[in-house]
């Protein structure tokens, strides 16, 4: 009685167990993930050389983004095609199956190579993101601890500049006449001059600033500066900065316009970030789908070379490697 193993084509091993071979799949998946990591790292290094904080020596943002997207697609397709080829070449075929069936099973192994590689990549990205988040939390805790310890020794803690504070600073600056009067008073009797934007006492000046801040925050939310709030701010500026009523009203309008402009720019930046994230998501999904097709095709090619005792050719030579 002749067995299947005895009638097998020379150079092809018979399959007697499961249709799925996890050894070639694992090898192909790790090979694809390693090659993908190396190529992406290389591409990141090239990308960093293409951008610069100096506007005159950097490429346009759209060109950098287009090249990065193309490199991502090529990297994923190439790495998973090679990983699938390795799995298909290492897999032992079932000899009693038709060529179409063997090709399908080789391609299925390539697809599983892609799936395992995606899982490996997701795990690595998850670990990396977790490490980054943990580092950020630790850094924030350290900063908070330092601030708490220094609070008893520091009288005040200054906040980072923002458009609202800057607009209020400009609005409450003393006029030219007030500055000249203060300079004459200082020269005559060396009396201390109140800080800019403060009327009478620091307490009153702080109260004016806080009230102006609350009014502008409310106006920025609604998009409209109420006439009575505008008149109140103009009266306070006229008294604090020594300006005519018309000039004080002009400062209020300029400050509100600057705050509205900053609000619009922040919305535009957030919208641009949203669009960029959406494009990046679609691009990542497209690259993953292309990589799946490349892995299946590579496995099919690897299985064909295995059955025909062929070799992988590159630059006219048979090699590995």
The pLDDT score that the predictor gives to residue 205 is 63
The pLDDT score that the predictor gives to residue 313 is 62
Residue 182 has pLDDT above 50, yes or no: no
Buried (b) or exposed (e) across 282-294, using 16+ Cβ within 10 A? eeeeebeebbbbb
- pLDDT tens digits, 221-244: 888 888 898 888 888 888 887 888
Q: Can you read off the two tokens belonging to residue 192?
A: 């201390």
Q: DSSP for 55-97?
A: GGGS--HHHHHHHHHHHHHHHHHHHHHHHHHHHHHHSPPPTTS
Cα–Cα distance, 141 to 136 (Å, whole number): 9
Cα–Cα distance, 48 to 81 (Å, whole number): 27
Confidence of residue 124 (pLDDT cuts 50, 70, 90): confident
Q: Can you read off the two tokens belonging to residue 208?
A: 């004016």
- Higher-scoring residue by pLDDT: 45, 41: 41
Q: Is-contact 150 235, C-beta < 8 A?
A: no
Over residues 182-210, the mean pLDDT reads: 52
The pLDDT score that the predictor gives to residue 2 is 40
The number of beta carbons lying within 10 Å of the beta carbon of residue 78 is 17
Q: Is-contact 233 252, C-beta < 8 A?
A: yes
Over residues 250-256, the mean pLDDT reads: 87
CA angle 146, 155, 171 (to 5 degrees): 110
Over residues 173-190, the mean pLDDT reads: 52
Whole-number average pLDDT of the chain: 74
- Higher-scoring residue by pLDDT: 268, 60: 268
Bridge partners, residue 314, by sequence: 317
The pLDDT score that the predictor gives to residue 278 is 87
The pLDDT score that the predictor gives to residue 298 is 93
Over residues 288-313, the mean pLDDT reads: 86
Q: How far is the first Cα of the chain from the last one, in angstroms, to the nearest whole number?
A: 42
Cα–Cα distance, 45 to 68 (Å, whole number): 11
3-state DSSP assignment of residue 256: helix
Length of the chain in residues, anyone?
321
Confidence of residue 214 (pLDDT cuts 50, 70, 90): confident
Residue 43 has pLDDT above 60, yes or no: yes
3-state DSSP assignment of residue 9: coil
Over residues 79-91, the mean pLDDT reads: 92
Which range in 48-52, 84-88, 99-103, 220-224 is most confidently predicted, on average pLDDT?
84-88
Residue 128 has pLDDT above 80, yes or no: no
Over residues 164-177, the mean pLDDT reads: 73
Q: Which sequence spans correspond to the domains of the chain?
A: 22-147+287-318, 163-266
Q: Can you read off the two tokens belonging to residue 154?
A: 């520091």
Residue 16 has pLDDT above 60, yes or no: no
The pLDDT score that the predictor gives to residue 99 is 80
CA angle 320, 111, 119 (to 5 degrees): 95
In this structure, of 96-100, 129-133, 241-245, 313-317, the range with the lowest mean pLDDT score is 129-133
Burial of 173 from C-beta contacts in 10 A (0-12 / 13-18 / 19+): middle
Q: Is-contact 165 262, C-beta < 8 A?
A: no
Over residues 16-41, the mean pLDDT reads: 86
In this structure, of 104-118, 147-161, 216-230, the range with the lowest mean pLDDT score is 147-161
Closest CA to 30 of 73, 82, 98, 94: 82
- Higher-scoring residue by pLDDT: 138, 72: 72
């Amino acid at each position: 009685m002749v067995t299947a193993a005895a009638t097998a084509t020379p150079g092809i091993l018979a399959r007697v167990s499961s249709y799925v071979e996890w050894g070639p799949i694992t090898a192909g998946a790790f090979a694809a993930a390693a090659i993908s990591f190396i190529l992406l790292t290389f591409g990141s290094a090239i990308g960093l050389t293409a951008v610069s904080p100096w506007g005159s020596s950097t490429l346009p943002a759209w060109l950098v983004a287009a090249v990065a997207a193309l490199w991502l697609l090529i990297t994923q397709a190439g790495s998973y095609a090679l990983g699938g080829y390795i799995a298909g070449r290492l897999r032992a075929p079932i000899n009693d199956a038709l060529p179409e069936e063997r090709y399908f099973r080789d391609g299925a192994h390539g697809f599983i190579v892609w799936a395992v590689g995606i899982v490996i990549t997701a795990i690595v990205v998850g670990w990396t993101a977790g490490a980054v988040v943990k580092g950020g939390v630790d850094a924030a805790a350290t900063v908070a601890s330092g601030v708490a310890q220094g609070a008893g020794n520091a009288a005040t803690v200054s906040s980072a500049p923002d458009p609202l504070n800057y607009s209020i600073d400009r609005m409450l600056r003393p006029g030219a006449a007030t500055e000249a009067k203060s300079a004459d008073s200082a020269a005559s009797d060396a009396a201390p001059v109140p800080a800019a934007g403060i009327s009478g006492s620091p307490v009153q000046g702080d109260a004016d600033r806080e009230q102006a801040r609350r009014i502008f925050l409310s106006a920025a939310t609604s998009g409209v500066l109420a006439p009575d709030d505008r008149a109140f701010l103009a009266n306070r500026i006229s008294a604090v900065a020594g300006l005519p009523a018309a000039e004080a009203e002009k400062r209020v309008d300029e400050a509100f316009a600057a705050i509205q402009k900053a609000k619009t720019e922040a919305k535009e930046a957030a919208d641009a970030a949203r669009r960029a994230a959406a494009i990046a998501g679609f691009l990542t999904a497209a690259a993953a789908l292309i990589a799946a097709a490349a892995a299946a095709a590579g496995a099919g090619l690897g299985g064909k070379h295995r059955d025909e005792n062929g070799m992988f050719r590159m630059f006219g030579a048979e090699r590995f490697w």
